């Protein structure tokens, strides 16, 4: 049985505001880099640029929801994506 491909994604949080209900930062994986903004009050995640966005957007949203209150500005985090970029 072959193993599933995996890629480690690295997240850095730049800013967050509980009063404005947003968090923004950058995520990189497999040679791609994106900027993201998560409006957690509305449940909206935007990821730019569009190149490769489909590879990371769902996995990033799941990570953000799971890690939610543990994320802090200046923090570096990582999670695993079950695909090869």
- 25 closest CA partner among 7, 46, 53: 46
Distance (Å, whole) CA 13 – CA 22: 11
Query: What local confidence, expressed as pLDDT, does residue 62 receive?
Result: 96
pLDDT tens digits for the chain (85 residues)?
Answer: 568 889 999 999 999 999 999 999 999 999 999 999 999 989 899 999 999 899 899 999 999 999 988 999 999 999 999 887 7
Query: What local confidence, expressed as pLDDT, does residue 1 receive?
Result: 57
- For residue 63, the surrounding DSSP H or E stretch is helix 53-67
- 76 closest CA partner among 6, 7, 9: 9
Query: What local confidence, expressed as pLDDT, does residue 68 receive?
Result: 84
Query: What local confidence, expressed as pLDDT, does residue 77 receive?
Result: 97
């Amino acid at each position: 049985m072959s193993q599933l491909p995996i890629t480690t994604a690295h997240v850095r949080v730049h800013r967050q505001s509980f009063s404005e209900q947003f968090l923004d930062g950058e995520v990189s994986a497999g040679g791609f880099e994106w900027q993201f903004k998560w409006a957690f009050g509305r449940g909206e995640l935007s990821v730019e640029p569009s190149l490769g966005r489909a590879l990371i957007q769902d996995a990033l949203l799941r990570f953000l929801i799971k890690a939610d209150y543990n994320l802090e500005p200046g923090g570096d985090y990582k999670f695993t994506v079950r695909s090869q970029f």
